[in-house]
Chains A and B, each alone.
Chain A
Amino acid sequence: MMGSIGGYAGRILHVDLSKRKQHVEGLPEGEARAYIGGSGLAAKRLWDMTGKETDPLGTENVLIFMAGALTGTRVPLSGRHEVVAKSPLTGIYGESDVGGRWGTELKKAGFDGVVITGKSAKHTYLWINESGVEFRDAEHLWGLDTYEASAILRKETDQKAIEACIGPAGERLARIAAIMHDGRDARAAGRCGLGAVMGSKNLKAIVAKGDKEVSVADGKRLSEMTKKLAPDILKSTKRLADYGTSQVVTTLEELGDLPVRNWKQGRWQEGAEKLSGPTMAKSILNGRYFCGACIIGCGRTVAVGHGEYAGVDGAGPEYETMALLGSNVLVDDLEAVAKAHELCNRLGLDVISTGAVIGFALEAAERGMIKGDLNERADLTWGNGRGIVNMVEKIGRREGLGYLLGEGVMRVSAKLGAGSEAFALHVKGLEPPGHDARAYNSLAVGYATGNRGACHLQGMSYAFERSATMPELGINEIQDRFGVVKKGELVAKTQDLMSLFDSIKLCKFLLFGGVKLTSMLEWFNAVTGWEISQAEFLKAGERIYNLKRMYNVRCGITRKDDVVPTRMLREKRGEGGSAENLPPFSEILDDYYRYRDWDQNGIPTKAKLVELGLADMTP
């Protein structure tokens, strides 16, 4: 067991909702060292506890919340945790990385993670504190939105408690439902439909609060490092602090990265400017939000005082909202986008998948593929802010056409048929975020091989095609975004690196603060007291990525599934910064498999599995 290792609580809470029982599992030190924490430890448990036959919305799926060794410490930007389950949206490995303060409270209550099994006979919430867990009735909360539920939950437990909570979308099993955290501050475990997994278990919320100190092996070393790095982090991320993630809307529009009109259109200059961070700062912005241990504060809080959307009050739109519920549907009304964002937060929807499925529906409606209610069809027009807001509400409440759209792009396209797959953008069922594979060649293979589907955060290779380097990985200079050579290798290396971010639990924005692998590892060693070498650390990242791949291989995933949405592969944007580029996908994918030591069918070789200590993991 963990003994005197810093950072970890050394305890994982298991909750069986069917039997209303709990037990605490000691975390073995060897397992923590091999899988690090957060995403890695959760993935290992998902591998052990579920498989190909597991119905993602069945009693047998497990829902895992896992913090990292750094969560709850003073390491900057470490207030994060991971949520993992078999995804009802994709049917494969599902996970979402979340900021906020919930993970910190869980650690302070004395747990590294919570593993939830079974299904409650009645609507329930869990109250986790230093004494363990209480099962509490949630009948009075069922049907409430996450902001309403949060206020009641804090009154019933502790005003300083933090909750992970689903809204009506998760309760009604929308496959694009999120698990929201931190009430009105609204930090989302948005991707992969994990809110529906929680809903399928009749679990409304998990409230956490603790007062224990998270132990740190070498506080002096940690403090010295942080003092050394913090000024550069702050300097390099000043605009992120000033304008939030949507500071880049105009830049990405210029580069040909921003999705416009369901990824069909090349440019949208005036609209992008209306949705940019500086525009928000001059209009509806009323504050900043800092996740646990954050020193940047990129989160936005907004208020709309008058007009059609008066009453919006709380977490404001991020870049992804601007992209998917703004430019992707041609809505340039910032207040409408803020309203749509708030509805996603309240109803518990992933902003990316929600905007993506609406963009898809708009194009389908334009092509005459969507029949039915005239009012709904009127809502489905490009640039119709009110219509988009109405549709978000219908998806979240699963009403009318919203019921179908809540199933996600892949299933809606399958239902519509008629060639709609040509403009149905998803990989393995997960809709891409607001970044275009035509703007960065590496992103095509990143999307194709992302263990949860089309995801920019599992690799973030595109950051190294724009502004970042990582000499420890041999990435000594910024890569040409339209280049081909060694791009597969770049994707694999950065995926392994991001596995480490997701497992020790650090915000990836540290990359833009100039933080390198060496510093990450030094923080980790200072907190844990281990002296892990860079080679061992990187090997752990590779192990975690391959473990998730093996989970997917066991679910039937092979090269045939490692694809890029047709539109990104075959249709040029035609104008703007990526006008003529189409990613040379197969060439980069071959390089990727070769570098990874996966066979031509995309399956890790036996030798690779042995090397990583995963020899017993056969499909």
Chain B
Amino acid sequence: MPFREDAGVTEETYETDQESTTVARVLDLIASRHSSMTKFMDSTSDEAQRHHLVVAVNSRLARLSEEVHDGDSISLLLPVIGGSKE
């Protein structure tokens, strides 16, 4: 899966001391745990971030400001370029 080799894990659990947090904050947490993932993080805007990776919360594409709640599943996906040579 995408980013598996960069992070060295296929899935992991994060805990925060708040009931909810944001996608941007989760990305910060991931980057702080896996420095190899820092190069994929750019929280200046949603579009800037999606040039590097796309975040899905419970399979729905999510913005950086979107809230994440206890039990949510977050996927890091490749920027989507479904190509064709025609």
Binding site for B on A (CB under 8 A): 96-99, 186-191, 235-237, 239-240, 244-248, 250-252, 254-257, 273, 278, 298-299, 318-320, 352, 433-435, 456-457, 463, 465-469, 477-478, 481-482, 509, 512, 514, 576-577, 579
CA distance A186 to B85 in the complex (A): 9
A519 CB, nearest partner CB in chain B, Å: 15
Assess the B80–A239 pair: CB atoms within 8 A.
no
Check A512/B81 contact, CB under 8 A, given A254-B75, A255-B59, A467-B47: yes
What is the size, in residues, of chain B's interface with A at 8 Å between Cβ atoms? Answer: 24
Q: Which residues of B contact A235 (CB under 8 A)?
A: 51
Assess the B83–A245 pair: CB atoms within 8 A.
yes
Q: Is B78 an interface residue (CB 8 A)?
A: yes
CA distance A433 to B86 in the complex (A): 9
Assess the A457–B59 pair: CB atoms within 8 A.
no
B38 CB, nearest partner CB in chain A, Å: 15
Best-surrounded residue of A96, A255, A273, A468 (most CB of chain B within 10 A): A255
- 1/0 contact string of B34-60 vs chain A (CB within 8 Å): 000000000000110011001010011
A282 CB, nearest partner CB in chain B, Å: 10
CA distance A96 to B83 in the complex (A): 14
A403 CB, nearest partner CB in chain B, Å: 24
Closest 6 pairs (CB-CB, A-B): A245-B83, A467-B50, A577-B59, A251-B77, A320-B84, A236-B51
Query: Chain B: which residue is nearest A479 at the CB level?
Result: B61
Q: How many A-B residue pairs have CB under 8 A?
A: 116
Pick from A99, A191, A577: contact of B60, CB under 8 Å = A577
Q: Which residues of A contact B54 (CB under 8 A)?
A: 251, 466-467
Assess the B83–A467 pair: CB atoms within 8 A.
no
B63 CB, nearest partner CB in chain A, Å: 7
B46 CB, nearest partner CB in chain A, Å: 5
Check A245/B81 contact, CB under 8 A, given A250-B1, A477-B46: yes
Assess the B1–A319 pair: CB atoms within 8 A.
no
Pick from B1, B46, B61: contact of A273, CB under 8 Å = B1
Query: Chain B: which residue is nearest A319 at the CB level?
Result: B83
Pick from A97, A466, A481, A512: contact of B86, CB under 8 Å = A97
Q: Which residues of B contact A188 (CB under 8 A)?
A: 85-86
Interface contacts beyond A246-B83, A352-B84: sample of 15 additional A-B pairs, CB < 8 Å, sorted by A: A187-B85, A189-B86, A236-B51, A240-B81, A245-B82, A245-B85, A248-B80, A248-B83, A257-B82, A278-B2, A433-B82, A467-B50, A477-B46, A478-B50, A576-B59
CA distance A435 to B46 in the complex (A): 23
Q: Which residues of A contact B51 (CB under 8 A)?
A: 235-236, 467, 512, 514
A480 CB, nearest partner CB in chain B, Å: 8
Query: Chain A: which residue is nearest B49 at the CB level?
Result: A467
Assess the B47–A318 pair: CB atoms within 8 A.
no
Assess the B82–A435 pair: CB atoms within 8 A.
yes
Assess the A255–B56 pair: CB atoms within 8 A.
yes
Q: Which residues of B contact A254 (CB under 8 A)?
A: 56, 59, 75, 77
Pick from B46, B79, B85: contact of A320, CB under 8 Å = B85
CA distance A98 to B84 in the complex (A): 10
Q: Which residues of B contact A467 (CB under 8 A)?
A: 47, 50-51, 54, 79-80
Pick from B61, B78, B84: contact of A481, CB under 8 Å = B61
Q: Which residues of B contact A435 (CB under 8 A)?
A: 82
Check A250/B2 contact, CB under 8 A, given A189-B86, A318-B83, A435-B82: yes
- 1/0 contact string of B64-80 vs chain A (CB within 8 Å): 00000000000101111
